[in-house]
């Protein structure tokens, strides 16, 4: 007699979902070990090196790739470019999930995560971290309010959705202000270490560079998310809208390059560009991958009007700008060693991330991907369009 077990279709999970859940489970177990036995049991962080992979990837990168939310909100609600409305909801969702992941990562990273709210009552007025903390907490609340109508529409609570829509403008303006402040203030956070951050990256105008680069990252993230979701969820791709966004990216990148190299010239640091050392290699890799190549690609009409071209170009830009965030917050930071003078990640006596550290970040990122997929499946994240672009 053959025994057959039938699984209800609702409980059938795709391989990607199983992988994401497995990665989340591993990260959860590591986090519990960290809470029970201390951060030293799962990481290579120390009193000498309290900032490592988590800060570079989860904080500096996580905040940057979430910048598309305030850009689209400003474009549609403040500048009243209504044609971009189909991109607002997925951008706000990406921003909300991005900031949520940043907060979760910080809870694992902090020495006493249960005291994260202490900064609201014990203010350090001289610390940039206070401004960043308040802005991140406030902006996360604003994003929740901006996305609430989508949740209410999914629950068929139309009255609540309409009520929030009536008063959404003040929250949009507040969100743009808050995001502008902390996108730039992340650069301000690094101004305290002119003796440690390499001259190719340390500059008093780091806040300006952070903000300008965040604009290019946000636009690229919108393109990346739209093209991937169109493929995975089998929906139409708004190429006619993404093409217009892609046209702006080269302008932003050129402005970034002009500011960056003008600063190096004024500071007299151009000599470091051609030393042949590791720092100059990392710098040129960042520039070529994150700015020069995307500028050329997004300036090409054929690429902008192709789904594959948009996806490839956005991936290249994101990789280059993520390298920038790693350079300024980790790779470019040197801890003077009288023997080797090696940067922090090159010397065996210095910090190298442990496998559990990386797995925690991967698990948190996996949770964000799964949450986005569930939101798209059960909520009206993608609004109906009057017309669609064609995929290539």
pLDDT tens digits for 247-281?
Answer: 999 999 999 999 999 999 999 999 999 886 889 99
In angstroms, the CA 219 to CA 244 distance is: 10
Whether residue 242 is contained in a domain is answered as: yes
Question: Which residues, in sequence order, are CB contacts of 290 under 8 Å at separation 6+?
Answer: 213, 316, 317, 319, 320, 321, 323, 324
In angstroms, the CA 179 to CA 161 distance is: 24
Same domain, 199 and 336: yes
Q: What count of other Cβ atoms lies within 10 Å of the Cβ of residue 196? A: 15
Whether residue 298 is contained in a domain is answered as: yes
Q: At what angle do helices 158-166 and 168-188 cross, to 10 degrees?
A: 70
In angstroms, the CA 7 to CA 15 distance is: 16
Percentage of the residues of the chain whose pLDDT score is greater than 90? 68
Can you give the pLDDT at residue 349?
46
Do the beta carbons of residue 165 and residue 149 sit within 8 Å?
A: yes
Query: What residue spans of the chain are helical by DSSP H?
Result: 15-37, 53-54, 62-65, 68-73, 88-109, 128-154, 158-166, 168-188, 206-232, 239-267, 278-287, 293-298, 301-304, 307-326, 355-378
What's the number of CA atoms in the CB half-sphere (13 Å) around residue 144?
Answer: 8
Tell me the average pLDDT across 103-125: 84
With b for 16 or more beta-carbon neighbours within 10 A and e for fewer, the 70-82 pattern comes to bbbbbbbbeeeee
Do the beta carbons of residue 227 and residue 314 sit within 8 Å?
A: yes
Task: Check whether 4 has a pLDDT greater than 80.
Answer: no
Same domain, 343 and 204: yes
Q: Which residue has the higher pLDDT, 258 or 193?
A: 258
Whether residue 123 is contained in a domain is answered as: yes
Tell me the average pLDDT across 135-149: 93
Same domain, 233 and 183: no
Tell me the average pLDDT across 243-250: 96
* Residue 346 DSSP code: T
Task: Check whether 76 has a pLDDT greater than 60.
Answer: yes
Can you give the pLDDT at residue 116?
81
Same domain, 268 and 186: no
* Residue 11 DSSP code: G
Tell me the average pLDDT across 316-333: 94
Q: What is the DSSP string of 158-225?
A: HHHHHHHHHTHHHHHHHHHHHHHHHHHHHHHGGGG-TTTB-TTT--TTHHHHHHHHHHHHHHHHHHHH
Tell me the average pLDDT across 192-201: 90
Can you give the pLDDT at residue 316?
98
Q: Domain count for the chain, please give it.
A: 2
Same domain, 317 and 206: yes
With b for 16 or more beta-carbon neighbours within 10 A and e for fewer, the 170-179 pattern comes to ebbeebbebb
Same domain, 360 and 344: no
Same domain, 224 and 373: no
Can you give the pLDDT at residue 3?
43
Whether residue 241 is contained in a domain is answered as: yes
Q: What is the DSSP string of 304-323?
A: HT-HHHHHHHHHHHHHHHHH
Per-residue tokens: 103:
């907060």
Same domain, 127 and 263: no
Can you give the pLDDT at residue 11?
47
Task: Check whether 118 has a pLDDT greater than 90.
Answer: no
Whether residue 17 is contained in a domain is answered as: no
Whether residue 1 is contained in a domain is answered as: no
Same domain, 158 and 229: no
Task: Check whether 312 has a pLDDT greater than 50.
Answer: yes
Among 27-36, 234-243, 346-355, where is mean pLDDT lowest?
346-355
CA neighbor of 335 nearest in space, from 347, 325, 324: 347
Same domain, 205 and 275: yes
Domain that holds residue 200: 193-352
What's the number of CA atoms in the CB half-sphere (13 Å) around residue 282?
Answer: 21
Tell me the average pLDDT across 367-371: 95
Same domain, 82 and 63: yes
Average per-residue pLDDT for the chain: 88
Task: Check whether 235 has a pLDDT greater than 80.
Answer: yes
In angstroms, the CA 190 to CA 371 distance is: 32
Whether residue 4 is contained in a domain is answered as: no
Same domain, 288 and 363: no
Can you give the pLDDT at residue 198?
92
Can you give the pLDDT at residue 384?
58
In angstroms, the CA 85 to CA 88 distance is: 5
* Residue 66 DSSP code: T
pLDDT digits (tens, 9 = 90+) for 10-50: 545 688 899 999 999 999 999 999 999 988 899 998 877 87
Whether residue 370 is contained in a domain is answered as: yes
Tell me the average pLDDT across 224-243: 90
């Amino acid at each position: 007699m053959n025994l057959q077990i039938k699984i209800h279709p609702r409980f059938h999970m795709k391989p990607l979902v199983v992988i994401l859940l497995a990665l989340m489970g591993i990260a959860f177990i590591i986090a519990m070990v960290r809470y029970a036995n201390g951060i030293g049991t799962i990481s290579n962080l120390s009193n000498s090196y309290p900032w490592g992979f988590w800060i570079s990837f989860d904080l500096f990168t996580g905040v940057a790739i979430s910048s598309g939310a305030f850009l689209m909100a400003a474009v549609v609600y403040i500048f009243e470019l209504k044609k971009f409305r189909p991109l607002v909801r997925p951008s706000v969702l990406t921003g909300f999930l991005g900031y949520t992941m940043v907060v979760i990562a910080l809870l694992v990273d902090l020495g006493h995560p249960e005291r994260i709210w202490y900064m609201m009552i014990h203010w350090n007025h001289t610390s940039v971290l206070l401004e960043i903390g308040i802005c991140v907490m406030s902006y996360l609340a604003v994003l929740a309010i901006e996305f609430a109508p989508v949740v209410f529409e999914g629950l068929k609570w139309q009255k609540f959705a309409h009520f929030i829509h009536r008063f959404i403008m003040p929250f949009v303006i507040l969100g743009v202000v808050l995001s502008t402040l902390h996108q730039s203030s992340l650069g301000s956070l690094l101004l305290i270490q002119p003796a440690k951050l390499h001259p190719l990256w340390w500059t008093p105008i780091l806040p300006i560079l952070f903000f300008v680069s965040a604009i290019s990252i946000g636009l690229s993230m919108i393109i990346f998310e739209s093209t991937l979701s169109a493929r995975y969820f089998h929906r139409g791709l708004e190429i006619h809208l993404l093409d217009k966004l892609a046209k702006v990216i080269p302008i932003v990148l050129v402005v970034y390059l002009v500011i960056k190299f003008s600063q190096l010239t004024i500071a007299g640091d151009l000599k470091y560009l051609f030393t042949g050392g590791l720092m100059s290699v990392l710098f040129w890799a960042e520039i070529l991958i994150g700015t020069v190549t995307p500028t050329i690609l997004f300036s090409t009409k054929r690429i902008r009007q192709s789904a594959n071209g948009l996806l490839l170009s956005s991936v290249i830009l994101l990789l280059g700008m993520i390298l920038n965030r790693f350079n300024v917050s980790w790779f470019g930071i040197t801890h003077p060693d009288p023997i080797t003078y090696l940067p922090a990640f090159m010397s065996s006596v210095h910090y190298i991330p442990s496998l559990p550290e990386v797995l925690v970040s991967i698990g948190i990122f996996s949770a964000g991907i799964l949450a986005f997929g569930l939101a798209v499946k059960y909520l009206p994240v993608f609004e109906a369009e009057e017309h669609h672009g064609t995929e290539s």
